[in-house]
Amino acid sequence: MTFPVIGMVGGGQLARMTHEAGIPLGVKFKLLSDTPTDSAAQVVGDVVVGDYRDLETLRSFAQGCDVITFDHEHVPMEHLRALEADGIAVRPGSRALVHAQDKGVMRARLDAIGAPCPRHRIVADPADVARFAAEGDGFPVVLKTVRGGYDGKGVWVVRDEAEAAEPFRAGVPVLAEEKVPFVRELAANVVRSPHGQAVAYPVVESIQVNGVCDTVIAPAPDLDPELSTHAQQLALRIAEELDVTGHLAVELFEVQRPDGPAVLVNELAMRPHNSGHWTQDGAVTSQFANHVRAVLDLPLGDPRPRARWTVMANVLGGDYPDMYGAYLHCMARDPGLKIHMYGKDVKPGRKVGHVNTYGDDLADVRERASHAAGYLRGTITE
Amino acid sequence: MTFPVIGMVGGGQLARMTHEAGIPLGVKFKLLSDTPTDSAAQVVGDVVVGDYRDLETLRSFAQGCDVITFDHEHVPMEHLRALEADGIAVRPGSRALVHAQDKGVMRARLDAIGAPCPRHRIVADPADVARFAAEGDGFPVVLKTVRGGYDGKGVWVVRDEAEAAEPFRAGVPVLAEEKVPFVRELAANVVRSPHGQAVAYPVVESIQVNGVCDTVIAPAPDLDPELSTHAQQLALRIAEELDVTGHLAVELFEVQRPDGPAVLVNELAMRPHNSGHWTQDGAVTSQFANHVRAVLDLPLGDPRPRARWTVMANVLGGDYPDMYGAYLHCMARDPGLKIHMYGKDVKPGRKVGHVNTYGDDLADVRERASHAAGYLRGTITE
């Protein structure tokens, strides 16, 4: 049989759920994991334990793989280019991933293709931040190290020049962005294959709590239909212009302009993304299944929703370390609840799973997801 | 964390798909497989290669498992009882599985609880088969060895006493059954937990070709609503009376009686079953997910359908050994097609996968499933 081998770099929950989605296709899945107990390493048969920052480890891992893809965006750019020079199919490739690894490069590229962004520029020091503020509406200003941030890490909201000192301490270039007075956050998820086919999922609303995604509602309620189509087209265009293969999440701010609602690009993620987890139970083809199909250059699956509303709520680590006991209550209360746990040790605030619910009544669907996530975390008892 | 460990005996596709369904629950999955390349062994992390017919292998495997369940019904009864005597949670237990292992025991028990069966009795030799025939409507008669049969193996339809010699050659007791003039074959799938909760899936129609399941339609078209409820209740009652835990498939003949349609029990299977594969994409909770929940004694998931019609078509091995090349056509033609391949080597007639389709128009849904299964097998080209 010539069923291909997908090499997944990184053993987190995205790899775990990609493996799960790949099983039905009969493709082989090989994992490069930091430890033998990482989330994905617990459920994958063919696991190599090694350091993705080491080129020879990557080279050795890539032998026998038909394509390499990623659980995260942290593989050093020079290693990605070296693998490509070796003739390895790296998807997404280094030319795309550079935009996910470096926020400065990303912003410059988005400007070049005319994608709407918050006002921004690279700043040299705290005094330069004060100048950036003065060029616009003043403080507060958002500062981001161009590399290494995720889930609110590497991001600061500063109210004056004195507070702006901190981000520069890492020695990484700092990007300043206006603090956008957004109405809400949206995400446009698309999947693109090497032969250029692409599909767009419905635009979703993403609700953050303390800088971490808490709830995703699919589709985004009351979203202007023209803006929805515009956001999908924007994401498809970014995928094409940046030559993304696989899943691309375009995180957006919805803003109110004098002439109507508009979107600005907040962040890009070139892998399955938290804002697409609802697709596991809410779409004909999940983001994970379509990522697998894309990196194999297979025709993509139908991205349309299966329910009027689907809601995803993240399960964060709480005060008690064992969530299994909460299954009894959650499953008995809601036989339609879809639980997705990652096999990770519980630490307060850490994403250890998510739940999906769907149905016709949005308030009910939200309450079910919120209740289950809260009960699993331990913030709700009854 | 106290997430439990499920020990699955047998490495076939049912184990593979049960593992897939267990990943979201964060439970641990341990596999006892005949070889390291069995269908499930390719995708499970924790695999023990060993012989399920050896008690010490089973005992060693069971250490560290919270519950043992099965990909097949072939583990020797004395071993099941020994594991239970050791205090291992075996689900379904030996008291239930004896009915799936021995068709004579099954028929006697179904008679005792008043479940409708084809006319039947154990026969001693070919002359006794002739007497059995004469007691009813004559030949043809169905003969089954009481142990070891599946997918049409161990079953003979004999037209006279001379043809009746073959089944006795194995030295296994032989059960004779009337050849039921059925209208069609149905299956009632239920799942029952140790604490006694049970759910019933919609009754499906199962279309066999050459004694092997070819297509399943969920729900069974034009099924009399009273008969449908009766079939579900019958399956639930069998599950309770036989103390089944986990998934139970009750294969049924639909017959036309003077007073209306009725069902007779054809076979029982105490594990996820081919007639339930449609639930992976067609029900809120799949048979595999509910089997996992049942063997862990967790509350069961909603068994209701998500689509008006779901059709499953088996993919049998055909003339060419590599089916991956057919993905391009199948996926491009039908973006809503759900492919489930088992990672098995292709042999003519061997079940190597299945496809699911769903939608509102039954004729269209059937055509899509049939086309994809035929194209993967190589009997359709275009």
How far is B368 from chain A, CA to nearest CA, in Å?
A: 14
Contacts of A340 in chain B (CB under 8 A): 24
For the stretch B287-308, pLDDT in tens is 999 999 999 999 999 999 999 9
> Measured between CB atoms, does A336 come within 8 Å of chain B?
yes
Q: Which domain holds residue A253?
A: 184-377
Helix B103-112, helix B94-101: angle, nearest 10? 110
What are the tokens at A36? 């033998």
**Which residue reads 């997918």 in tokens?**
B151
Q: How far apart are CA A204 and CA A194, in angstroms?
A: 25
How far is B371 from chain A, CA to nearest CA, in Å?
A: 17
Among the candidates A36, A70, A90, a domain finishes at: A90
Mutation target to probe the B interface, by most B beta carbons within 10 A, among A2, A6, A67, A324 is A324
Q: How far apart are CA A163 and CA B329, in angstroms?
A: 58
Q: How far apart are CA A190 and CA A238, in angstroms?
A: 10
Q: Running DSSP on this structure, what letter comes out for residue B254? A: E
Helix A94-101, helix A103-112: angle, nearest 10? 110
Cβ separation B341–A285 shorter than 8 A: no
Task: Look at residue B271 and tell me if it is in a domain.
Answer: yes
Residues B235 and B283 occupy one common structural domain: yes
* A152-163 as b/e: b if 16+ CB within 10 A: eebbbebeebeb
Residues B187 and B293 occupy one common structural domain: yes
> Measured between CB atoms, does B357 come within 8 Å of chain A?
no
Average pLDDT over residues B111-116: 98
Q: Is A103 annotated as a binding residue?
A: yes
List the single residue in A3, A23, A325 with the smallest CB-CB distance to B20: A23
Residues B150 and B79 occupy one common structural domain: no
What are the tokens at B310? 């779901």
Residues B200 and B278 occupy one common structural domain: yes
Question: Integer distance in angstroms from the first to the last C-alpha of chain B?
Answer: 53
Tell me the residues of chain B between 25 and 54 that have a Cβ less than 8 Å away from chain A.
Answer: 25-26, 28-29, 41-45, 47
User: Does residue A95 sit in helix, strand or coil?
Assistant: helix
What are the tokens at B167? 């089944």
For the stretch B336-363, pLDDT in tens is 999 999 999 999 889 999 999 999 999 9
- For B187, the enclosing helix (H) or strand (E) is strand B184-192
Q: Running DSSP on this structure, what letter comes out for residue A302? A: P
Task: Look at residue B96 and tell me if it is in a domain.
Answer: no
Does residue B382 have a pLDDT over 80? no
Residues present in chain A in total: 382
Residues A334 and A188 occupy one common structural domain: yes
Check residue A152 and give its pLDDT: 62
Residues A134 and A261 occupy one common structural domain: no
Contacts of A300 in chain B (CB under 8 A): 331, 335
User: Does residue B162 sit in helix, strand or coil?
Assistant: coil
For the stretch A140-155, pLDDT in tens is 999 999 987 665 678 9
For the stretch B150-171, pLDDT in tens is 656 789 999 999 999 999 998 8
Cβ separation B341–A24 shorter than 8 A: yes
Check residue A163 and give its pLDDT: 96
Residues B130 and B206 occupy one common structural domain: no
Contacts of A293 in chain B (CB under 8 A): 331
Mutation target to probe the B interface, by most B beta carbons within 10 A, among A14, A42, A43 is A43
Residue B38: which CATH number? Answer: 3.40.50.20
What are the tokens at A84? 């490509």
In order, the DSSP letters of A144-200 are EESSS-BTTBTEEEESSTTGGGGGGGG-S-EEEEE----SEEEEEEEEE-TTS-EEE
Residue B288: which CATH number? Answer: 3.30.470.20
Q: How far apart are CA B17 and CA A379, in angstroms?
A: 34
Check residue A154 and give its pLDDT: 86
User: Does residue B103 sit in helix, strand or coil?
Assistant: helix
> Measured between CB atoms, does B19 come within 8 Å of chain A?
yes
Q: Running DSSP on this structure, what letter comes out for residue B153? A: B
Residue B130: which CATH number? Answer: 3.30.1490.20
For the stretch A219-245, pLDDT in tens is 999 999 999 999 999 999 999 999 999
Task: Look at residue B236 and tell me if it is in a domain.
Answer: yes
The answer to whether the beta carbons of residues A252 and A164 sit under 8 Å apart is no
- C-alpha dihedral sign at A30, A31, A36, A39: negative
Q: Is A178 annotated as a binding residue?
A: yes
Residues A359 and A259 occupy one common structural domain: yes
User: Does residue B285 sit in helix, strand or coil?
Assistant: coil
Among the candidates B178, B211, B245, a domain finishes at: B178
List the single residue in B20, B293, B337 with the smallest CB-CB distance to A20: B20
Average pLDDT over residues A313-329: 90
Does residue B8 have a pLDDT over 90? yes
List the single residue in B26, B331, B340 with the smallest CB-CB distance to A342: B26
Task: Look at residue A109 and tell me if it is in a domain.
Answer: no
Check residue A320 and give its pLDDT: 75
- C-alpha dihedral sign at B221, B226, B232, B238: negative
Q: How many structural domains compose chain A?
A: 3
What are the tokens at B90? 């075996």
Measuring CA to CA, how many Å separate A38 from each of A14, A62, B20? Answer: 11, 20, 17
CA atoms within 13 A on the CB side of A329: 16
Q: Is A179 annotated as a binding residue?
A: yes
Residues A236 and A159 occupy one common structural domain: no
Task: Look at residue A73 and tell me if it is in a domain.
Answer: yes
Check residue B276 and give its pLDDT: 98
The residue that leads in pLDDT, A170 or B40, is B40
Cβ separation B327–A42 shorter than 8 A: no
Task: Look at residue A34 and tell me if it is in a domain.
Answer: yes
Residues B321 and B286 occupy one common structural domain: no
Among the candidates A178, A208, A229, a domain finishes at: A178
Task: Look at residue A274 and tell me if it is in a domain.
Answer: yes
Q: How far apart are CA B246 and CA A246, in angstroms?
A: 38
For the stretch A164-195, pLDDT in tens is 999 999 889 999 999 999 999 999 999 999 99
> Measured between CB atoms, does B74 come within 8 Å of chain A?
no
Annotated binding site of B: 103, 144, 177-180, 185, 266-267
In order, the DSSP letters of B322-342 are --GGGHHHHHHH-TT-EEEE-
Residues B274 and B312 occupy one common structural domain: no
For the stretch A6-61, pLDDT in tens is 999 999 999 999 999 999 999 999 999 999 999 999 999 999 999 999 999 999 99
Measuring CA to CA, how many Å separate B291 from each of B90, B235, B271, B310? Answer: 13, 16, 8, 20
The answer to whether the beta carbons of residues B186 and B213 sit under 8 Å apart is no
List the single residue in A324, A335, A343 with the smallest CB-CB distance to B300: A335
Residues A169 and A217 occupy one common structural domain: no
Tell me the residues of chain B between 283 and 322 that have a Cβ less than 8 Å away from chain A.
Answer: 284-285, 293, 298-302, 306, 321-322
ipTM computed for the complex = 0.95
Contacts with B367 (C-beta within 8 Å, 6 or more apart), sequence order: none
Task: Look at residue B107 and tell me if it is in a domain.
Answer: no
Q: How far apart are CA B1 and CA A11, in angstroms?
A: 19
How far is B130 from chain A, CA to nearest CA, in Å?
A: 48
Average pLDDT over residues B130-149: 93
Q: How far apart are CA B294 and CA B301, in angstroms?
A: 9
For the stretch A274-313, pLDDT in tens is 999 999 999 999 999 999 999 999 999 999 999 999 999 9
Question: What percentage of chain B has pLDDT greater than the value 90?
Answer: 92
